[in-house]
Amino acid sequence: MSEMRKVQENWETQEEIWGYYPIGLNLRGRLCVVVGGGKVAARKIQKLLAAGAQVKVISPELDPSLQDLKHCGAIVHFPRIYQTGDLQHAFLAIAATDSREVNRKVYEEASEAGVLINVVDNPDLCSFIVPATLQRGNLQISISTSGTDPAGAKKLKETLQSDLEYGTLQFQNAILHRENERKEAKR
């Protein structure tokens, strides 16, 4: 079989299960805007800061865990609701509010401006998703379900973390179990 035919067959079978292209983004010094100031936004902000991003937060209120970051200048906080234009000069945006309407507006502005966008808990409104990530020094292992089961990805990450710490095979067993469940569901 020719290489071109293999590519074509892969393309045809992939049509219904499009995933995401795994990538590591260099965010050092880049402006990342987070709309929302709750616990979910706080987790996203911590990871953006760890990657060296400049973080601008748009939210009427901030989770207590973000107050110190605001006071020491690690984040810039605009204590108000999102407004069109808030993504100006942004490289990446995350919408993490409880309002579907606000999240959609952030998505629309980001899409129009060519800004990478993640709307938490809504993969249909994302140009990227954030996988569950395990980090040990410079080693970074990411686990993704292409946005279909973030809780499952997080559980697999925690299992792998335990395996690395204790030398067990729980991760392998969990993968095999999930594969068997998937096969059973197809029957």
pLDDT of residue 134: 81
pLDDT of residue 102: 97
Domains of the chain plus CATH, in order, are 31-125 (3.40.50.720), 132-186 (no CATH)
CA–CA–CA angle 177, 178, 179 (5° rounding): 90
Q: pLDDT tens digits for 11-42?
A: 455 445 567 788 889 999 999 999 999 999 99
pLDDT of residue 161: 84
Average pLDDT per block of 10 residues along the chain, 187 residues long: 52 57 92 98 97 98 96 97 98 97 98 97 91 82 80 84 79 77 80
Residues 6+ apart with CB under 8 A from 176: none
pLDDT of residue 2: 52
Write the CA distances from 175 to 17, 29, 83, 182, 186, integer angstroms: 19, 37, 43, 11, 17
pLDDT of residue 11: 47
pLDDT of residue 7: 46
Cβ–Cβ < 8 Å for 109, 35? no
Between helix 150-166 and helix 170-186 the angle, nearest 10°, is: 150
pLDDT of residue 79: 98
